Amino acid sequence: MSEQRESTPLEIGSEIELEITGIAHGGVSVARHDGRVVFVADAIPGERVLARVTDQKKKSFARAAVTRVLDASEDRREHVWDEASLERDPAERAGGAEFGHIDLARQRVLKAEVLVDSMARFGDIELAGEEGEDFQETLAELVEAADGDDEANGLGYRTRVRLHVDPETGAVGPYAARSRTVVPVSSLPLATDGVNQIAPLAEAMQGLQTIDLIDPANDDPRMLITELGQKERRGEKDLVAELVEDRGFIVRAGGFWQVHREAPAMLFGAVHDAISDLIEAGQFDPAAGNLDLYGGAGLLAAAVAEAAGPGLKITSVESDPDATDNAAENLSEIVGARALTARVDRYLAELLDAAAPVRDRLRRGTIVLDPPRSGAGGDVTAQIAELAPANIVYVACDPVALSRDTKSLLDSGYDLLELRAFDIFPHTHHFESLAVFSRAE
């Protein structure tokens, strides 16, 4: 290792030498400079790098991006996206593949570290033991890969991609990381072939704001266009056909659906397994007041139904009326299923005022929820705890939000039975988790 350089002030544009010591939530690594935390893009824990300061407004931390690797990790790889590589100026690197320079297996370990740290700091749950061989094995096994990703090196999986249009040149591409700068690109390596075939990457698209590319599993690829000054995307309410194994779903083209080709089946299977385990343990009552909150197009309610079989009663609650319409259609063959349009907090407030027989059915029931990235939050978590269902199956896309809600549920008398994580966003810092809770008696 070279001799320590003299301290360099943290000024925007200055370059500093850093030892990367860890990973943070959000896809950046952690270092310190004169005692101040620096969040570093395009690094890997264990490396020594030169990094350019990009933001130092906060007193508690600064941000930087790697410009040169001095001591590389053995897990560093050539970036999967040329337009996001170190050869480019940090301000001109395409965003959306912030882990693209890291070996796929190491990416999953880093995501596991974030989950373990979040659960310890915010959830008061220790998921792994002390540092050592067993600890590393736990991390390596915690985040599960989707089928086919290892063989494809985590490429070609995204069925939904949003591109932006430069208002002056009409150039099309993703934003640079933490920026509104459009970066023109020649390909979309994380996207499916269907998305790449229709992507207008070499065209000038003046007069447009965004271009959403959709490649449904059982339908033709299509493009949703937002014109300047408009909010609605042209074609966003068109119905498209998705397929989860042999089960068909209809969704609005602009509606929510998991972006990884294998993610719907992976999460469907995970919820199915969780309900099956509860049934085997004698903890699931199909005739109780079972709920699917933030239910979207009904994917997870359908998973519960497949596990529970005939006789299931379940209500799917979703604030988007178009998604509720889709859920009603997708769940129409399940006699005891219904789909309601309502805000989750308002719906739960009504249930809390319900008569004793309704409250008793809810207390015997199971709640499945898949909230937005911010999590269910304190108010909704408190409402769920007051309803006191027998079980809670929580699907989360943000580990910190899940950890905070986990702490609330533990404090309300629930036990954490199971926690799984799924790497359905390779080459990014994102991942999905599933936590199963049961009311302590």
Active-site residue identified among 41, 397, 419, 434:
397
> Helical H runs in 189-320?
193-198, 263-280, 299-308
Q: 3-state DSSP: the chain helix, strand, coil percent, rounded to 5?
A: 30, 30, 45
Per-residue pLDDT of 325-384, as tens digits, reads 999 999 999 999 999 999 999 999 999 999 999 999 999 999 999 999 999 999 999 999
Stretch 26-34: mean pLDDT:
95
User: Per-residue confidence at 1, pLDDT binned at 50, 70, 90?
Assistant: very low
Percent of the chain with pLDDT over 90: 90
What fold is seen in the domain 1-74? OB fold (Dihydrolipoamide Acetyltransferase, E2P) (2.40.50)
Higher pLDDT, 103 or 7: 103
Q: How far is CA 53 from the centre of its chain?
A: 28
- Distance in angstroms (rounded) separating the CA atoms of residues 193 and 171: 21
Binding residues for S-adenosyl-L-methionine: 258, 294, 318, 370
Question: What pLDDT, on a 0 to 100 scale, did the predictor assign at position 139?
Answer: 80
Question: What pLDDT, on a 0 to 100 scale, did the predictor assign at position 133?
Answer: 57
CB 20 within 8 A of CB 37: no
Question: What pLDDT, on a 0 to 100 scale, did the predictor assign at position 3?
Answer: 45
List the chain domain ranges. 1-74, 103-153+260-440, 160-235
Question: What pLDDT, on a 0 to 100 scale, did the predictor assign at position 298?
Answer: 98
Higher pLDDT, 213 or 134: 213
Residue 86 in this model has a pLDDT that exceeds 80: yes
The SS3 call for residue 349 is helix
Question: What pLDDT, on a 0 to 100 scale, did the predictor assign at position 7?
Answer: 53
Question: What pLDDT, on a 0 to 100 scale, did the predictor assign at position 131?
Answer: 59
Using alpha carbons only, what angle is made at residue 255 by residues 209 and 397, rounded to the nearest 5 degrees?
Answer: 100
Per-residue pLDDT of 390-431, as tens digits, reads 999 999 999 999 999 999 999 999 999 999 999 999 999 999
Residue 37 in this model has a pLDDT that exceeds 90: yes
pTM: 0.94
- Distance in angstroms (rounded) separating the CA atoms of residues 387 and 365: 10
User: Per-residue confidence at 130, pLDDT binned at 50, 70, 90?
Assistant: low
Sheet of strand 222-227: strand arrangement: 172-173, 160-165, 208-214, 222-227
Provide the 10 A C-beta neighbour count for residue 349.
13
User: Per-residue confidence at 137, pLDDT binned at 50, 70, 90?
Assistant: confident
Tokens representing 280 are 């085997």
User: Per-residue confidence at 135, pLDDT binned at 50, 70, 90?
Assistant: low
- Distance in angstroms (rounded) separating the CA atoms of residues 406 and 125: 9
Per-residue pLDDT of 170-217, as tens digits, reads 999 999 988 999 999 999 999 999 999 999 999 999 999 999 999 999
Max Cα distance, the chain (Å): 73
Question: What pLDDT, on a 0 to 100 scale, did the predictor assign at position 400?
Answer: 97
The SS3 call for residue 17 is strand
Residue 8 in this model has a pLDDT that exceeds 80: no
Percent of the chain with pLDDT over 70: 96
Query: Is residue 397 annotated as a catalytic residue, yes or no?
Result: yes
Question: What pLDDT, on a 0 to 100 scale, did the predictor assign at position 59?
Answer: 78
Per-residue pLDDT of 260-284, as tens digits, reads 999 999 999 999 999 999 999 999 9
- Distance in angstroms (rounded) separating the CA atoms of residues 370 and 274: 14
CATH 3.40.50.720 fits 103-153+260-440, yes or no: no
Per-residue pLDDT of 282-334, as tens digits, reads 999 999 999 999 999 999 999 999 999 999 999 999 999 999 999 999 999 99
The SS3 call for residue 314 is strand
Residue 132 in this model has a pLDDT that exceeds 70: no
Question: What pLDDT, on a 0 to 100 scale, did the predictor assign at position 162?
Answer: 97
Contacting residues for 138 by C-beta, under 8 A, at least 6 apart: 112, 127, 128, 129
Average pLDDT of the chain to the nearest whole number: 94
- Distance in angstroms (rounded) separating the CA atoms of residues 295 and 323: 8
